[in-house]
Chains A and B, each alone.
Chain A
Amino acid sequence: MKDNAESYVTTDGRTIGPVVMEMKNITLRFGGVEAIKDISFDIREGEIRAIIGPNGAGKSSMLNVISGFYVPQEGEVWYKGSRRPPVKPYEVAQQGIARTFQNIALFEGMSVLDNVMTGRLTHMKSGLLSQMIWRGAAEREEIANREVAERIIDFLEIQAIRKTPVARLPYGLKKRVELARALAAEPSILLLDEPMAGMNVEEKEDMSRFILDVNDEFGTTIALIEHDMGVVMDLSDRVVVMDYGKKIGDGTPHEVRNNQAVIDAYLGVAHD
């Protein structure tokens, strides 16, 4: 058993930090359907943690539990060393967990820059009046927030479309803007719901590069759901494999790849 509070080196040779979030025996039901059955796993600081599984395995439900959109019937969520009571999605965001959506949820009417700036909302603390007259703390804060936003826009190479209304952008770029907005919150954990769904090969490569760079450059802890097995195996430090709402594997990509249950359920590779 590894110590939750200590860093350790995975069998792939990557050093990852102490546990920042732990899911304990989570069960989620919709009426009579059990979407998640008694699943436990942890997310460690600075790692890229993937959740994979076939369609309907409960991956997105799991992500929605972490981000507060669903409340599990059983089980505990531990975040930063204490048990998290049932919370609303906006409270989760305020606690430093940012996310993207499978079907993209952007503010279509706003420009790219405005969208990214909304990611800074949780960092704005100055009073309403001082914001309205644009003096003192509000001015400094806005400038600082704008700097963070611009740095992320730079980093994700979307400077050219800063002022473009999001509704005009193609799909791949929208995905990137959504990532930028989530990053702007400077989250402790970044949740990505199928960041590469529906992308062509080139866009996938770009997105993989950005995810790795974000993890590298900002040290952001990332938990992601992805269908594309190749991408997952290349990107992630550790992988949780789900099938029919149950956890059937957990470990480094190498370990998971050689796990017989996973091979049977998901990879569909011929036994040899």
Chain B
Amino acid sequence: MNEQLAFTIEVFANGLMAGVLYALVALGFVLIYKASGIFNYAQGVMALFAAMTLVGIQNGQVPFSHLINAIFGTDLHYFGWDVHSFLAILLTVGVMIVLAWAVQRFVFRHLVGQEPIILFMATIGLAYFLEGVADLMWGSELKALNVCAAEGTCLPQGMNTWLEGTTYEALGYGFFIDNLDIVASIVAAILVAGLVIFAQYTKQGRAMRAVADDHQAALSVGVSLNFIWILVWSLAGFVALVAGIMWGAKSGVQFSLSLIALKALPVLMLGGFTSIPGAIIGGLIIGVGEKLFEFLIGAPFLGGATENWFAYMLALVFLVFRPQGLFGEKIIERV
């Protein structure tokens, strides 16, 4: 097999995998935007917060230990136990639900009916507040994240040797694919299928779409806005947790994790702010696009490092020709 072609295919496949990770973050944005028209700038920080909480619980860290030690003069840092990953994830989901409730109760309930820009500003404030809380709660050092179902069966790391071996025997070229990326893709597929079914076929999903469309009308058919918003923020929190686990396992839990939110922006512009499958397709296009562009054009002709801006440029082109994105709702207006 042609070496150059094989390498291109490998880049393509790796692009797909990177795209899945972008899509995971974008999903959280779509959920909240769909149900409340709020562009949630804090989604990336929510992923960070979720990942830090998960690691903290797993390691038996005492939350707010610095604060407690400073006030009471104690020297507490760890409870001295390790929590099983499964239980830790459940507890983190609980924390994210409490967070969703708190955000709704203390921020957005007071902003009902305000301009979108004000809601957006509120989410920026929320992002920095949450980042501060995360720091205070769990400390700011870089932590490794390892999720294990049982002893020895953790989230896999490194290259998939089986895939490399078989492709080498069959094609004479061993493909390099990261194990973690494969797991992330499978998880993302399940997550998207679940969310689509939820939004399209369940009562709560229907109510969510109703709330997204018209608050007054939703009230008049018996939908509680408050309940739906808490539900949606909880779901977004759960999606943030999944994204946090995948990114955290890949590159460690650190504060730069919150910046992945910025990478989700072009994904949203491509896929449309209101489409769950759009977030995935958009993520894949961005992932593949930036890797292939770098490999075929960027590195040989432009001196490399095109991955940093390619996604934004692509989004800009889309804004000009198809502002609602690939799958966003068409803007219908009767004149």
Residues of A within 8 A of B (CB): 67, 69, 88-91, 93-94, 98-101, 105-110, 114, 117-119, 121-122, 124, 128, 131-132, 134, 165, 167-168, 181-182, 185
Contacts and interface: CB of A to CB of B under 8 A. Distances in A.
Contacts of A99: 220
B216 A185 contact: no
A106 B217 CA distance: 6
Interface stretch (B44-52, B221-229, B236-244): B221-229
A118 B197 contact: no
Contacts of A114: 206
A91 B203 CA distance: 16
A57 B222 CA distance: 28
Contacts of B201: 131-132, 134
B329 A109 contact: yes
B222 A93 contact: yes
Contact of B216 (A105, A122, A132, A167): A105
A193 to B, nearest CB: 10
Contacts of B334: 167-168
Contact of B214 (A88, A91, A108): A108
Given A110-B209, A118-B206, A118-B210, A105 B217 contact: yes
A68 to B, nearest CB: 8
Contacts of A185: 221-222
B198 A107 contact: no
Given A108-B213, A168-B334, A118 B202 contact: no
Contacts of B209: 107, 109-110
A128 B218 CA distance: 19
Nearest to B212: A109
Interface of B: 194, 197-198, 201-204, 206-207, 209-210, 212-214, 216-225, 329, 332-334
A128 B222 CA distance: 17
Contacts of A117: 206
Given A67-B220, A89-B220, A93-B219, 14 more contacts: A90-B222, A90-B223, A98-B220, A101-B216, A105-B217, A107-B214, A109-B329, A118-B217, A118-B223, A121-B207, A128-B198, A131-B201, A132-B198, A167-B332
A110 B221 contact: no
Contacts of A110: 209-210, 213
Nearest to A95: B222
Given A90-B223, A167-B332, A128 B204 contact: yes
Contacts of A118: 206-207, 210, 217-218, 221, 223
B203 A124 contact: yes
A107 B224 CA distance: 16
A153 to B, nearest CB: 16
B214 A89 contact: no
Given A122-B222, A132-B202, A107 B217 contact: yes
A117 B206 CA distance: 9
A90 B210 CA distance: 13
A232 to B, nearest CB: 23
Given A121-B206, A131-B202, A90 B213 contact: no
Contact of B220 (A93, A128, A167): A93
Contacts of A94: 222
A98 B224 CA distance: 15
Nearest to A134: B201
A165 B332 contact: yes
Contacts of B198: 128, 132
B213 A107 contact: yes
A100 to B, nearest CB: 8
A131 B333 CA distance: 34
Contacts of A89: 219-220
Nearest to A171: B334
A99 B218 CA distance: 11
B194 A132 contact: yes
Contacts of A105: 214, 216-217, 220
Contacts of A134: 201
Given A131-B203, A132-B201, A167-B332, A106 B214 contact: yes
29 contacts: A67-B220, A88-B224, A89-B220, A90-B218, A91-B222, A93-B219, A93-B222, A105-B217, A107-B218, A108-B213, A110-B209, A117-B206, A118-B206, A118-B207, A118-B210, A118-B218, A121-B203, A121-B207, A121-B223, A122-B221, A128-B202, A131-B201, A131-B202, A132-B194, A132-B197, A132-B201, A132-B202, A168-B334, A185-B221
A110 B200 CA distance: 12
Contacts of B197: 132
Contacts of B214: 105-108
A-B interface, 10 closest residue pairs, ranked by CB to CB distance from nearest = A93-B222, A105-B217, A107-B213, A89-B219, A131-B202, A122-B222, A124-B203, A105-B216, A167-B332, A94-B222
